[in-house]
Chains A and B, each alone.
Chain A
Amino acid sequence: MPSNVSYGQKASWGLTLAAWGGLLFLHVPILIIFLYTLTPDETTYTFPLPGITFKWFGVALQRADLWRALTLSLQVAAVATIVALVLGTLAAAAVYRSQFFGREAVSFLLVLPIALPGIVTGIALRTTIGSLEIPFSYWTIVVGHATFCVVVVYNNVLARFRRMQGSQIEASMDLGANSFQTFRYVIFPNIATALLAGGMLAFALSFDEVIVTTFTAGQQTTLPIWIFSQLTRPRDRPVTNVVAMFVMLITFLPIFFAQKITAQSADTEGGSK
């Protein structure tokens, strides 16, 4: 239990230990995957590693099924992000600039896909696709992803709007700019980094989403679905290690920069995924 409570004092060693222990617990497991990409062992997860090899990186690069899955995931994430950017920004602008009946309901509706367990969204879309006899396609995946990506952009952009000086817009109008010019020269530069941060988070979210995708992909394989199939029925353990590390790194960068951007502009999104 902590012995110091007032701000500015040093934390007790017990608290410090518990805090850093929690932090290690959050991050060490990922490093274990990095370690295992080097194992020569194909059939088990033996530790300590029986040796060191770099051949699995080469093997993974040769796999056509992985390239197909990666391409599909990137395409889906790109389109879902664009849809989320457009819809999220529109909704944020509407909620920011006007008071209207049901304004609270808008936020609620947008946050619902991430507040409810992912399986609800997944099975709901699956049932709809089945009932309306829509064939599974690239677009069924995109539509599913966009539902939960919109709120990410919405939160980021709305937070930025709220910190923006309303007087800037008035000044722009007073100086004779029309609405489109005001948007182009005043509003857009203000929200640009929020769009970037929201877009990157939406991309990362879509790129490694698996729960909703399982229900909307049909027979198609995105990269997360490929990993999931390896989780339940491991066939290519070493290659899976390499893919897992790759996915971690490719999502790390956009998330890290999005966090930096939001930390710098002191927005407080991210608390609710």
Chain B
Amino acid sequence: MLQRLSTFLYQRPRLVLALLLGPPMLYMVVVYLGSLFILLINSFYYLEEFTGLIVREFTLRTYAQIFEPANRDIFVRTAGMAAAVTVADALIAFPLGYYIAKFASPRLKTWLIIAVTLPLWSSYLVRVYAWKLILAQEGILSWFINLLHLDGALNWLLSLPGIGGSSLALSPIGMFIVFVYIWLPYMIIPIQTALERVPASLLEASSDLGARPFQTFRTVILPLAFPGVVAGSIFTFSLTLGDFIVPLSLGNSKFFIGQAVYSYQGTAGNIPLAAAMTMGPVVIMIIYLLIARKLGAFDAL
């Protein structure tokens, strides 16, 4: 019986393909793409202010709301944070990725890669929570800053308009630190992968031709590692753009995109506006991905 079925299937590769591909594709298309499509449709509905009911007819009214100053500020604020986090992550990740790729012994390398990948998969929420403890006004960081007699500098930093706040735990500076921390592994791994592919012979050739170490670094290593940086930035940028956990836990009343979406769909019940706001990160990421592809980032993934 099984033998006959096996032969039957063997002679029909297209049928086997359909049987293999059918379930996963059906699931992803119906559940995932289907949901995205319904989200898109909802972004063209609008919420009737007086009745609080969603009017299900095509309109661009909801999209127009995005360009109102309050919502526009949210976009600018979030994109600015995402850009700052991306730059900081690249600066911190580069030495580590470089060290792992080019200087660590094979044994150490295995351990370092595991050490960098672990936080990538491990509880995101708990890692945010850790910073709630660290940044608290009476917490370990304040204690440490006190120890170094740097309270003056901290207070000055917190008094800056735009990035300051009442304490580190409730300010854009605090959010920035947490974002940098949370997404750092996403930057290290692509940079390390890109540097791994730089052949040693290229570096030898560079120094044989008389380049000083710094010249080799600047003219050979950095350009070859750049696609890795761009690949990493896709994650750091995209993840910051859509996050609402960090702003809700550490932010103040100034909204970020994810937070706005969260509150519009929740207490406000304004699903159309939440849907339209979500299209923001989607569009920004599509543009970002197109640019990243031009810069060769996909080869570094």
Contact = CB atoms under 8 A, between A and B. Distances in A.
Interface stretch (A20-28, A63-71, A186-194): A20-28
B136 A45 contact: yes
A61 interface: no
Interface string B252-289: 00000010011001000001001100100110010001
Interface residues of A, number: 100
Given A123-B261, A227-B126, A47 B118 contact: no
Interface residues of B, number: 108
Contacts of B214: 1, 3
A87 B138 CA distance: 49
A180 interface: yes
Nearest to A112: B32
Contacts of A112: 32
A16 B102 CA distance: 12
Contact of B17 (A100, A109, A205, A260): A100
B130 A88 contact: no
B185 A26 contact: yes
A125 interface: yes
A178 B125 contact: no
A43 to B, nearest CB: 10
B80 interface: no
A145 B216 CA distance: 46
A110 B31 CA distance: 12
Interface stretch (B57-65, B67-75, B89-97, B154-162): B89-97
A232 B206 CA distance: 54
B140 interface: yes
A23 B96 contact: yes
B23 A87 contact: yes
B95 A19 contact: yes
Interface in B156-207: 181, 184-186, 188-190, 193, 200, 203-204, 206-207
A4 interface: yes
Contacts of B258: 117, 119
A146 to B, nearest CB: 7
A127 B39 contact: yes
Contacts of B76: none
B198 to A, nearest CB: 9
B84 interface: no
Given A208-B124, A214-B262, A259-B114, A98 B2 contact: no
A119 B242 contact: yes
B51 interface: no
B239 interface: yes
Interface string B137-155: 0111011000000000000
A59 interface: no
B129 A98 contact: no
Interface string A116-147: 11111101111110110000000000010011
Q: Which of A7, A147, A268 has most B Cβ within 10 Å?
A: A7
Interface string B111-136: 01111111111111111111111101
28 contacts: A6-B200, A6-B207, A9-B103, A11-B102, A15-B95, A19-B99, A23-B112, A26-B116, A26-B184, A33-B126, A91-B25, A115-B238, A118-B242, A120-B36, A125-B31, A127-B275, A147-B32, A178-B7, A208-B123, A224-B125, A231-B248, A232-B249, A244-B130, A247-B126, A252-B122, A255-B122, A256-B114, A272-B301
Interface of B: 2-3, 5-7, 9-10, 13, 17, 20-21, 23-25, 27-29, 31-36, 38-39, 42, 92-93, 95-96, 98-100, 102-103, 110, 112-134, 136, 138-140, 142-143, 181, 184-186, 188-190, 193, 200, 203-204, 206-207, 213-214, 216-217, 220-221, 234-235, 238-239, 241-245, 248-249, 258, 261-262, 265, 271, 274-275, 278, 281-282, 285, 289, 301
Given A115-B238, A180-B2, A252-B118, 8 more contacts: A3-B213, A5-B221, A90-B20, A97-B20, A119-B242, A123-B39, A123-B261, A256-B118
